[in-house]
Structure 1
Amino acid sequence: MANFCVILSTVTLALFLTLNEATNSLSTSDINDTPYTLMHNYTHVCDPARFNDLGLDMTSFAYCDSSLPYDTRVKDLIDRMTLEEKAQQIGDTAYGVPRIGLPKYEWWSEALHGVSNVGQWNSIASFFDDEIPGATSFPTPISTTASFNQSMWKMIGQAVSTEARAMYNLGHAGLTFWSPNINVVRDPRWGRALETPGEDPYVVGTYASNYVRGLQDVEGTENATDLNSRPLKVAACCKHYAAYDVDAWLGLERYNFDARVTEQDMLETFLKPFEMCVKDGDVTSVMCSYNKINGIPACADPKLLKDTIRGEWDLHGYIVSDCDSIEVIINHHKWLKDLPEDAVAQGLKAGLDLDCGNYYTNYANNAVVQGKIKEGDIDIALKNLYVVLMRLGFFDGSLQFETLAKDDICSDEHIELATEAARQGIVLLKNDNNILPLSSDNIKTIAVIGPHANATSAMIGNYAGIPCKYSSPIDGFSAYGNVQYEMGCDSVACNNDSLIFPAVQAAKQADATILVMGLDLSVEAESLDRVDLLLPGYQTQLINQVASESKNPVILVVLSAGGVDISFAKNNANIKAILWAGYPGEEGGRGIADVVFGEHNPGGRLPLTWHENSYVDMLPMTSMTLRPLESLGYPGRTYRFFNGSTVYPFGYGLSYTEFSYKLSSSEKSLNIQLNKFQHCRDLDYTDGSFKPPCPAVLIDDLQCDDQNVEFEVEVHNIGEKDGREVVMLYYTPPNGIQEAPLKQLIAFEKVFLAAGESQKVQFQLNACKSLGVVSFNGNNLLPSGSGTIVIGNDLLSFPMSVNFQY
């Protein structure tokens, strides 16, 4: 999101109005001059005392009658507004209508991995000050995803929403949070990889659904039959929709980018996580992105917004633009040579309910007057918006959350959860001769070296707030021995090699050396894509010199989001172990040290492929296709389509113990009886491949609820340490189907096993969701024939066939 700055804590959030009798007659045009201040006396809009203080009779306003359905109440609210007043409510600052008791509301808050104070430039819904100095800052999503622990993803969402709701009660936050970011990382250079759950659309969608459920769900109402009135703890938003993963690369900016995408890639990769977020997570908002897709701005495309999100997926909520997207359509895309009123009309007619910006508030009224949209188009947007606020208790209150207060922010429980998330997200990449875990009985002095050795703010990445506190790597390792700290580099850029010598001297004298290296927001961030996959500056030289001179164990810890080509370290016998810690949050230092010294057995897996640096010379970031382009010599993207050598593959991760797998029971075939309305569809096969008589059937034509496959895998911890194992299931489609993925993740479960313990893990797969392919012409098909289920890194596999019968 663009054009944000840190707002001074003196800016006051106006969630509710303090209005004296003189303000009751104010018109909409006077609103910007009204001295809004925070009211602690009222927990919700429709408080009779509040209306009494405003000089209004609440009983005359049907929108405050809680006995009526939400849509009836919202219609009453909208019908009371003038056209000009309606236009003032559909920007991220909804200015309110004092004469009818409607307060101002700031729609923009962020909660990507904790409540954030990142927000808009005029005012901000979430902020910190002396009363609320900070909130728990969990690891960034790329790190949390590496745990592959679905229950933890949801628990973090629950903790974040508890703190968010407590901050709302104290006037320090809104109720609508524009998180999470669920764009698939198609290219390893993308600067925003730290904000995302990685490169696999199924993992991204699963993360999104769990995190959103954690943010939104009110206990006991998760399975409500009327989803348009289901209560919400806070409202989440899945962004940025869609095909957005280029920020600023070699002079190209996201504001000008036209993503040329096939229907096959759209359905299979770019839309899939959003579909899961809406259907499985029941998210209340989707944010459209800046870029054009095949020539049409994403925020003005009715096929993407109205037809897909609201129509096909049945969104129960609102659609919002990325900030200033309307301005981008006009001044950057110059689409249809639109004037402001034209762009506003295009957005509203496409199904865009809320403008993060001021184009809707400034020009929607004129667009109606000029006949470019109907007033009813604005009414539809307002209904979608205010029903969400009704569900949040903004109008009626939420008794179960009104007791949340300062003690619920930065609680010991939440800080411990942040620490555990940091531990579980760490990935062990190398462990020669089982050098790890280190023993504090033998290691007395520890040299902690590198630009991240004393990392604090670097650990929390972006879209972060102010953390409760920091535990740096130095802090973490100080609990296990006497730490000698040397920077080695003056910054992550490491442009000066003068600090290498003292770092080498420290390593020579220590019982063990921890090199904490990597990237930060100066290398990979929003509006900053990478140009290579290397460590910056003299970092590689520092690592190699320390490794060559030290006589005791050297451990490399990498902080980054995207992969780094550390082949030199992987192949260096003097570097005994390598850990990837991502951006591990406020308690990252404690998490790293606990893993190195064996208080926690690492069980994380890479959510991204770590490519060799030569990969970036093979294709430009602007090539959107996932599959190899033989005509241009472009390789495939992500593990699903790239078959070259890597530094470390997607899903890779070691443990301090060992696990074995055994298939204890399985169904290895699925027979589907077709009726006369279910017709065979063709698929393209490679030359010489066997083509079944009925290659495939359209998934939409099948009764998918009945097409399930069940099997059971016994996992045995055959090592000497307790540990967690991620059981990862991949599917390889039947041989010969052209452009099918090499393999695709279809399920995963994380299990804890004590040393010597075994556990049976059951999987029930829906064939339509797990065994399907998307053809080049955009058909979602279930192919016949024998594919392969692969468990783990080829530890166990068995055939799985689909047979159509007439």
Structure 2
Amino acid sequence: MAVLKSLLITFTLFAFSTAARPVKKLSSSYKSDPHVCSAAQFAAHGLDISKFIFCNQSFSYQVRAKDLVDRMTVEEKVQQLGDRSSGVPRLGLPHYKWWSEALHGVANTGPGTFFNATIPGATSFPNVILSAASFNESLWNTLGQVVSTEARAMYNLGMAGLTFWSPNINVVRDPRWGRTLETPGEDPFVVGRYAVNYVRGLQDVDGNEYSEDPNSRPLKVSSCCKHYAAYDLEDWLGVNRWTFDAKVTEQDMVETFQRPFEMCVKDGDVSSVMCSFNNINGIPPCADARLLSGTIRGDWNLHGYIVSDCDSIETIWKSQKWLHDTKEDAVAQVLKAGLDLDCGIYYTNYTMPSLNQGKVRESDIDKALINLYILLMRVGWFDGSPTYASLGKDDVCTKENMELAADAARQGIVLLKNDNHTLPLHSNIYKKLALVGPHANATTAMIGNYAGIPCKYVSPLDAFSKDADVIYAMGCANVKCKNETFVFEAMEAAKNADATIIISGLDLSIEGEGTDRTDLLLPGYQTDLINRVADIATTPVILVIFSGGVVDIAFAKNNKKIKAIIWAGYPGEGGGTAIADIIFGRYNPGGRLPLTWYQANYVDQVPMTSMKLRPDDNLGYPGRTYKFFNGSTVYPFGYGLSYTPFNTTLVSAKKSLDVKLRKYQSCHDLQSVPDGYLNPCPAVLVDDLISITNEKIDFEILVHNSGCKKGNLVLIVYEVPPNEYQGLPSKQVVGFKRVSLMAGEKQSVKFELDVKSLSVVSDSAYLLVPSGEHMIQVGDGNGAVIFPVNVNFYY
């Protein structure tokens, strides 16, 4: 008993504890490699590590994990199934806290991570919606790499775990959703590509990006794609996420809600998926074996574990009262469905009673634990990771990381209006600035939610004060702006300035987890503040909007006295620097909107509880996202301006795809438009095409920066399905690239699309490639490059 007690104390103080403790000052040569299977630790407590197969690296992870689980009593097994696993001291197994977050930097959300005097903060990058607006896949991957480096450094110091429940990859179906700021936007393909790149950045170990045995592939840290699936409602007019039943067609599930998760698992090789609170067609996702064991682990071949959103099992029993289950029933349902880990206490409290009542098998518990321990072996929790052992204090909040935070904001910021080329301002002319609005001196508001403690803040006031004499006025007491008390000070500032910059928008009191919006307007008196300041100003007025979700700012777009508008999302710790760099022309904006900016009356046309993506004329629903919305917008998806003009021309393209089908391959119907041409073979299954052809649609675009400034152009490639079929998207993103060109430079950009890029999802949820004339569109508006690709199937 004395040995066990001593061992328990040792492992409690081990690197996985989340209690603050003093740590010696570190140097750049700091080296630590905390891990379970330390021979010295075992020997110090009278244990012979050679007798424990789970610590023998000559065996596979599967064999080792099974050995560990087999050594446990069933009572011990159950206590490892929660996010705060208790460990088994008699086996040398310490406790582990699974829940850490790294949405846009290492966060202190969840018990697995904390900050103290040793590491008081970590780099806080822009919230995801702004980074997504860069449309830069290499940036997304780099962000993941830097975040995981800081995470490993904190792990070495006992201040973080190795399992991070990020990113959030739910598609933004409705503009009122409060968590829009956490996501990469409304397009499933873009969201999926963000997921793949960020996950790869977090997880991949150099030289081990791919493996013949993915279940043994080492990971830098473990990432988790969440929340699966069809989750995009918090609390709207009394309907909350815990009881909401999302009525979703199979077509929308395949086409929109599941697609980013499929890409995350298949292409990103993510090591965890989190199931969501809401019901889907009457079934909680965490209890749906078809969605978990069937799809995630079966069809997509997940190499990792499935975890519940926190307290989801309790929600099933308490709030949803699904099947009128008891607590023990609920535990049995989710365990048998394939849920490996409970973020909560229901597994640890009610699995033993459920087992004793004969509702679950011990083998179900074993299966879940083996999945968990294989994952912890892959991240080095058992054996250490010498590659990352040298990471420590000096690798967090580095100068390079903080500059990357500002650069990510610069790349994502979108220029929405720039009348008469008002921007960029020249600091030698505009020496006195009025800086007004509720976000003019923003700090914590810039980092949004699921954030930690930043290395340091650079507020807009800090940044602009370096370039000009700034007259600062709040304009509003806070973002809610419930009265006019401070409007007059802002007006007075504008009267006495060479230019006025108004920084307004939303914050977490308006949108965020648990908080949906009921309108798309600026809160309180903000609109009045902006109009009155613009009206009194005799010099240029620039409006900057902070928000995750869309805001109807048509009034500002149409106000001739407001010369320029910038959307800055939630720009992270270096947000002030990024905004100033763009306004003063040190950086040429190249971001593009990852969301459709609807008009305010959109909220009167469709309830948030309707999950339909396509328009419904019978109900008067206008459709959702750029793919299906049939109304007017304030700004369309993909919109964004630059300080320099670009010209794009088509150099070459493959414009036809002729495929000879095998005799046993079938054609599938698609609904034709009234009186439309009936193609003898309307469509073919994607899987059938892939089995007989690997033809690609190759094309080349010449981009010319015809202006006098270096700039960035985002080329978004859309596929427009043949117009003889009904119910298909008006267009859909199938590719994108961000290119940087010096003034006057020309650059050739090549794209390669596979047959899946020409696919659509039928109303019966088949993934099909239609025959007929597809259009490939590169870019939007008058400068778009458009060419046809004719698809013909024959026997």
**Counterpart in the other structure of 2:476:** 489
Match of 2:754 among 766, 779, 794: 766
Tell me, yes or no, if the aligned pair for 1:237 and 1:287 is still in contact at 8 Å: yes
Tell me, yes or no, if the aligned pair for 1:179 and 1:239 is still in contact at 8 Å: yes
Match of 1:288 among 248, 270, 275: 275
**Counterpart in the other structure of 1:379:** 366
Deviation per CA, 1:37-80, whole angstroms, max 9, x where unpaired?
77988611101111122321111101000111110111100000
- SS state at 1:255 partner: coil
- SS state at 2:102 partner: coil
**Counterpart in the other structure of 2:721:** 733
Tell me, yes or no, if the aligned pair for 1:20 and 1:54 is still in contact at 8 Å: no
- SS state at 1:761 partner: strand
Counterpart residue type for residue 743 of structure 1? K
Displacement of 1:20 = 6.3
**Counterpart in the other structure of 1:83:** 74
Mapped partners of 2:8, 2:138: distance in 1: 50
Are residues 138 and 26 of structure 1, via their aligned partners in 2, closer, same or farther at CA, if it must alter by over 3 Å?
closer
Displacement of 1:717 = 0.6
Match of 1:140 among 100, 111, 127: 127
Match of 2:3 among 18, 21, 25: 21
1:799 and 2:788 correspond:
yes
Match of 1:746 among 718, 734, 753: 734
Mapped partners of 2:690, 2:740: distance in 1: 36
Match of 1:395 among 378, 382, 392: 382
**Counterpart in the other structure of 1:16:** none
Deviation per CA, 1:740-785, whole angstroms, max 9, x where unpaired?
00110110000000111111110010112x1101011111111111
Tell me, yes or no, if the aligned pair for 1:141 and 1:196 is still in contact at 8 Å: yes
- SS state at 1:647 partner: strand
Mapped partners of 1:719, 1:555: distance in 2: 23
**Counterpart in the other structure of 1:151:** 138
**Counterpart in the other structure of 1:416:** 403
Counterpart residue type for residue 797 of structure 1? I
Displacement of 1:702 = 2.3
Mapped partners of 1:476, 1:96: distance in 2: 49
Between stretches 526-535 and 681-690, larger displacement belongs to 681-690
Tell me, yes or no, if the aligned pair for 1:87 and 1:360 is still in contact at 8 Å: yes
In structure 1, runs of 5+ residues without a counterpart are 1-18
**Counterpart in the other structure of 2:703:** 715
Deviation per CA, 1:201-236, whole angstroms, max 9, x where unpaired?
000000000000000000111022211100000000
TM-score, normalised via structure 2 length: 0.96
**Counterpart in the other structure of 1:14:** none
Deviation per CA, 1:605-651, whole angstroms, max 9, x where unpaired?
00001110000000100000100111111110000000211000000
TM alignment of 1:650-661, pairs within 5 A: 650-661=637-648
**Counterpart in the other structure of 1:214:** 201
**Counterpart in the other structure of 1:178:** 165
Deviation per CA, 1:537-589, whole angstroms, max 9, x where unpaired?
11111111111111111000000011100101000000000000000000000
Are residues 156 and 25 of structure 1, via their aligned partners in 2, closer, same or farther at CA, if it must alter by over 3 Å?
closer
Displacement of 1:25 = 9.2
Mapped partners of 1:176, 1:25: distance in 2: 24
Are residues 23 and 388 of structure 1, via their aligned partners in 2, closer, same or farther at CA, if it must alter by over 3 Å?
same
Counterpart residue type for residue 44 of structure 2? D
**Counterpart in the other structure of 1:73:** 64
Mapped partners of 1:54, 1:738: distance in 2: 71
Tell me, yes or no, if the aligned pair for 1:473 and 1:590 is still in contact at 8 Å: yes
TM alignment of 1:158-197, pairs within 5 A: 158-197=145-184
**Counterpart in the other structure of 1:99:** 90
Match of 1:622 among 584, 598, 609: 609
1:474 and 2:465 correspond:
no
Match of 2:771 among 776, 779, 784: 784
RMSD: 1.7
Tell me, yes or no, if the aligned pair for 2:4 and 2:89 is still in contact at 8 Å: no
Match of 2:255 among 268, 277, 289: 268
Tell me, yes or no, if the aligned pair for 2:686 and 2:755 is still in contact at 8 Å: no
Mapped partners of 1:22, 1:383: distance in 2: 24
Counterpart residue type for residue 182 of structure 1? I
Mapped partners of 2:8, 2:378: distance in 1: 28
Tell me, yes or no, if the aligned pair for 1:42 and 1:50 is still in contact at 8 Å: no
Displacement of 1:703 = 2.1
Are residues 35 and 293 of structure 1, via their aligned partners in 2, closer, same or farther at CA, if it must alter by over 3 Å?
closer
Mapped partners of 1:205, 1:558: distance in 2: 26
**Counterpart in the other structure of 1:354:** 341
Are residues 531 and 20 of structure 1, via their aligned partners in 2, closer, same or farther at CA, if it must alter by over 3 Å?
farther
Counterpart residue type for residue 140 of structure 1? N
1:45 and 2:32 correspond:
no
Tell me, yes or no, if the aligned pair for 1:24 and 1:55 is still in contact at 8 Å: no
Counterpart residue type for residue 223 of structure 2? A
Instruction: Name the count of aligned residue pairs.
Output: 779
Tell me, yes or no, if the aligned pair for 1:658 and 1:718 is still in contact at 8 Å: yes
Deviation per CA, 1:284-304, whole angstroms, max 9, x where unpaired?
000000000000001000010
Counterpart residue type for residue 706 of structure 2? I
TM alignment of 1:505-544, pairs within 5 A: 505-544=492-531
Counterpart residue type for residue 21 of structure 1? V
Match of 2:563 among 561, 567, 576: 576
- SS state at 1:745 partner: strand
Mapped partners of 2:482, 2:196: distance in 1: 42
- SS state at 1:736 partner: coil
Deviation per CA, 1:455-490, whole angstroms, max 9, x where unpaired?
000000000000000000011111211111000100
Counterpart residue type for residue 697 of structure 2? V
Tell me, yes or no, if the aligned pair for 1:24 and 1:99 is still in contact at 8 Å: no
Displacement of 1:677 = 2.5
Mapped partners of 2:610, 2:385: distance in 1: 48
Mapped partners of 1:525, 1:389: distance in 2: 32
Counterpart residue type for residue 744 of structure 1? Q
- SS state at 2:222 partner: coil
- SS state at 1:76 partner: helix
In structure 2, runs of 5+ residues without a counterpart are 24-31
Mapped partners of 1:547, 1:136: distance in 2: 36
1:60 and 2:47 correspond:
no
Displacement of 1:798 = 0.7
Tell me, yes or no, if the aligned pair for 2:534 and 2:541 is still in contact at 8 Å: yes
Are residues 370 and 799 of structure 1, via their aligned partners in 2, closer, same or farther at CA, if it must alter by over 3 Å?
same
Match of 2:241 among 247, 254, 258: 254
Among the aligned pairs, what percent are the same residue? 62
Mapped partners of 1:135, 1:669: distance in 2: 51
TM alignment of 1:225-236, pairs within 5 A: 225-236=212-223
Counterpart residue type for residue 427 of structure 2? S
Tell me, yes or no, if the aligned pair for 2:681 and 2:793 is still in contact at 8 Å: yes
Tell me, yes or no, if the aligned pair for 2:615 and 2:630 is still in contact at 8 Å: no
Match of 1:457 among 444, 453, 462: 444
- SS state at 1:702 partner: helix
TM-score, normalised via structure 1 length: 0.95
**Counterpart in the other structure of 2:584:** 597
Displacement of 1:36 = 9.4
Tell me, yes or no, if the aligned pair for 2:313 and 2:346 is still in contact at 8 Å: yes
